[in-house]
């Protein structure tokens, strides 16, 4: 939680003024019982109507000034709390954007959403309540007890006994509920996760007619959250009735003691009324303080969860290096764009390597196909180039420089990548394409669209480049989204273009036209095409064939057909007629 206080620094003035004005309000409030005592003992006892009116006007003035102080304090506390919440959300969102793919995978989207919204809101509310009541309530309680001792020491002993007992109750409930509120937020994350999965996959759920099963699963998660909240609520709910019972018991004792002391002439009737009013003030403030403690308990639990995200290290493309420390011969960098030398990758908490001893060299302007079975490591391989995951063995060079020497910005400025799942953002087509290059002209956007075979898609939309893109691109088909995503990467004019199975929703004709357009680009752009379609990569300059995280073949289509069993199996499984022709040719 301490990690978050830095976001209150720019609101130091508000953090001082809010409690200060609350203290002023408390002082005026503490004076009211004394004025009331004077009205009873002097005005009513002496039948002095003028004095009663004057004292009543004094009480009205105290109330107005106290209200003004309260409103001012509310303004400063709200300003500080809202500003604090804004700063935390901005910083947390920026930090999430900087996290490595490994940290994002381990943390999970539902956790990030819950902590960025619900948890931050709880912390913001806690800051607001703390600035308003954390000093005011104890000040009123101690001030009321001091005023009681000033009126009559023997009667004030009741205060000295009641307040510590009430403090024990508040502290006990707090110690019990803090860890429980952490569990409540954990249950909330589980509900958020289930909700997100269902809303994202609603079409799949309906296609398999699993609505009832998913509804029941959500109900179970929700009931777990409800049960935990009810359990914590019952414990928290004990605070108010217990404090009421204790305060009312103290009031009974106080009235009894006050009656005896008044009968003996030690104190006046007005002073007894003042003592009762002070006890009432203590009751109200302790209830407020108890609720503040509950709010702070939630805020602390949520704040600790938010702080844990800030403790996650920012993503880097730095490799750990070979554990055995063995020296490897540096490959020839002449005209090389990307070089892998004995590269290995092991995901965090994984049991085995995703990639093992991968070595190859790619020259400028080459088109490289990457193929392999499901889970063979194709995506893992290309994700190492922009440093999305740190390789755990070997070395990788881009343009003759080890990627560990690049900053994230420098390295990723060289790369344009289209992921397996095409993602468009709410806005216009132009705004989505400008992610690739914010300074691109409409002519450059049109050129990228034509190369990506997406120009007709935009042309048919009302408004063209200004046509609206709904959230997630849901007003576009899968193939249209893929082509727009490819255009977005091409707008960047990258030195290295990575198409990670990004043409899977395209028909063969469009896929072929796309490959011809990219191949016709003048310059030294190096292209990696990841695909499970042999037809998509068979005309590449070279093909990398992967099997179970190992590079089992490098060469042209014809070379791999001759000497790579893995590639041969993939190709002939997709084109069995060619195997029959080849067999017939050999027989002849």
CB 528 within 8 A of CB 536: no
For residue 583, the model assigns a pLDDT of 54
Name the residue with tokens 């940290």.
103
Of 457, 456, 462, 466, give the one whose Cα is nearest residue 431: 466
pLDDT tens string 172-205: 877 787 778 778 877 887 888 888 888 878 888 8
For residue 141, the model assigns a pLDDT of 84
CB 135 within 8 A of CB 288: no
Give the number of C-alpha atoms closer than 13 A to the C-alpha of residue 448, restricted to the C-beta side.
28
Judge whether residue 253 has pLDDT over 70. Answer: yes
**54-63 mean pLDDT:** 90
Level-2 CATH architecture, domain 2-310: Up-down Bundle (1.20)
**412-438 mean pLDDT:** 89
pLDDT tens string 357-380: 999 999 988 999 999 988 889 999
DSSP of 319-332: ----TT----PPPP
For residue 581, the model assigns a pLDDT of 60
Of 396, 421, 419, give the one whose Cα is nearest residue 406: 396
pLDDT tens string 449-484: 999 999 988 988 888 899 999 988 888 888 889 899
pLDDT cut 90: percent of the chain above it? 29
Compute how many other C-beta atoms are within 10 angstroms of the C-beta atom of residue 564: 20
**546-572 mean pLDDT:** 92
Judge whether residue 586 has pLDDT over 70. Answer: no
**17-25 mean pLDDT:** 92
Distance CA 490, CA 169 (A): 66
Of residues 47 and 402, more confidence is placed in: 402
For residue 361, the model assigns a pLDDT of 93
Mean pLDDT of the chain: 85
Q: Which residues pair with 340 in a beta bridge?
A: 360, 396
**271-286 mean pLDDT:** 83
For residue 285, the model assigns a pLDDT of 83
Say which DSSP state 522 is in: -
Gyration radius of the chain's alpha carbons: 36
Name the residue with tokens 């490098």.
554
Distance CA 186, CA 206 (A): 28
- What backbone phi and psi angles, to 5 degrees, belong to 530? -95, 125
Helix axes 12-38, 136-151, angle to 10 degrees: 30
For residue 329, the model assigns a pLDDT of 57
pLDDT tens string 133-150: 888 888 888 888 888 888
pLDDT tens string 295-311: 887 888 888 889 888 98
For residue 226, the model assigns a pLDDT of 92
Distance CA 360, CA 378 (A): 14
- Say which residues have a Cβ less than 8 Å from residue 246's Cβ, sequence separation at least 6: 162, 165, 166, 169
Judge whether residue 166 has pLDDT over 90. Answer: no
**413-438 mean pLDDT:** 89
pLDDT tens string 332-356: 677 789 999 999 998 877 778 899 9
pLDDT cut 70: percent of the chain above it? 95
For residue 302, the model assigns a pLDDT of 86
- Say which residues have a Cβ less than 8 Å from residue 377's Cβ, sequence separation at least 6: 345, 354, 355, 546, 548, 549
Say which DSSP state 361 is in: E
Residue 542 banded pLDDT, cuts 50, 70, 90: very high
For residue 254, the model assigns a pLDDT of 84
Q: Which residues pair with 542 in a beta bridge?
A: 368
**421-450 mean pLDDT:** 90
For residue 190, the model assigns a pLDDT of 84
């Amino acid at each position: 939680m301490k990690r978050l206080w830095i976001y209150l620094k720019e609101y130091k003035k508000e953090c001082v003024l809010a409690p200060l004005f609350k203290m002023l309000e408390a002082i005026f409030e503490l004076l009211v019982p004394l004025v009331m005592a004077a009205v009873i003992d002097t005005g009513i006892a002496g039948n002095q109507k003028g004095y009663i009116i004057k004292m009543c006007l004094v009480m009205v003035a105290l109330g107005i000034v106290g209200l003004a102080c309260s409103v001012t304090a509310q303004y400063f506390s709200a300003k500080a709390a809202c500003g604090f919440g804004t700063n935390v959300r901005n910083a947390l969102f920026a930090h999430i954007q900087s996290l490595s793919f490994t940290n994002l995978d381990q943390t999970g989207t539902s956790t990030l959403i819950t902590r960025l919204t619900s948890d931050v809101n709880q912390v913001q509310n806690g800051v607001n309540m703390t600035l308003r009541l954390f000093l005011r309530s104890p000040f009123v309680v101690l001030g009321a007890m001091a005023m009681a001792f000033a009126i009559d020491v023997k009667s004030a002993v009741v205060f000295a006994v009641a307040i510590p007992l009430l403090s024990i109750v508040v502290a006990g409930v707090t110690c019990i509920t803090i860890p429980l509120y952490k569990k409540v937020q954990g249950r909330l994350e589980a509900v958020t996760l289930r909700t997100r999965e269902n809303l994202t996959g609603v079409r799949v759920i309906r296609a398999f007619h699993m609505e009832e099963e998913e509804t029941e699963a959500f109900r179970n998660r929700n009931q777990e959250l409800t049960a935990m909240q009810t359990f914590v609520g019952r414990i928290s709910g004990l605070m108010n009735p217990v404090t009421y019972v204790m305060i009312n018991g103290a009031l009974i004792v106080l009235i009894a003691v006050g009656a005896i002391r008044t009968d003996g002439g030690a104190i006046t009737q007005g002073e007894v009324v003042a003592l009762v009013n002070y006890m009432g003030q203590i009751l109200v403030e302790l209830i407020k303080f108890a609720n503040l403690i509950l709010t702070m308990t939630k805020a602390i639990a949520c704040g600790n969860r938010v702080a844990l995200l800030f403790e996650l290290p920012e993503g880097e493309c730095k490799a750990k290096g070979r554990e055995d420390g063995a020296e490897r011969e540096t490959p020839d960098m002449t005209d090389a764009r990307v070089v892998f030398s004995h590269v290995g990758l092991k995901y965090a908490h994984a049991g085995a390597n995703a990639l093992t001893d991968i070595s190859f060299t790619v020259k400028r302007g080459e088109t490289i196909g990457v193929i392999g079975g499901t889970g063979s490591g194709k995506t893992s391989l290309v994700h190492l180039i922009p440093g999305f995951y740190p390789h755990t063995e070997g070395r990788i060079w881009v343009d003759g420089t080890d990627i560990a020497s690049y900053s994230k910005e420098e390295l990723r400025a060289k790369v344009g990548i289209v992921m397996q799942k095409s993602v468009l953002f709410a806005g216009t087509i132009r705004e989505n394409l400008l992610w690739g290059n914010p300074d691109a002209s409409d002519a450059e956007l049109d050129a990228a669209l034509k190369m990506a075979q997406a120009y007709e898609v935009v042309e048919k939309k009302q408004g063209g480049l200004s046509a609206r893109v709904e959230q997630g691109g849901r007003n576009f088909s899968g193939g249209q989204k893929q082509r727009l995503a490819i255009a977005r990467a091409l707008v960047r004019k990258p030195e290295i273009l990575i198409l990670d199975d990004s043409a899977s929703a395209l028909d063969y004709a469009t896929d072929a036209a796309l490959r011809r357009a990219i191949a016709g680009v003048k310059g030294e752009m190096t292209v990696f095409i990841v695909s499970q379609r042999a037809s998509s990569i068979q005309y590449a300059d070279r093909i990398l064939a992967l099997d179970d995280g190992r590079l089992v073949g490098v060469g042209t289509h014809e070379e791999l057909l001759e000497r790579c069993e893995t590639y041969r199996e993939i190709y002939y499984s997709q084109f069995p007629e060619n195997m029959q022709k080849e067999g017939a040719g050999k027989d002849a």
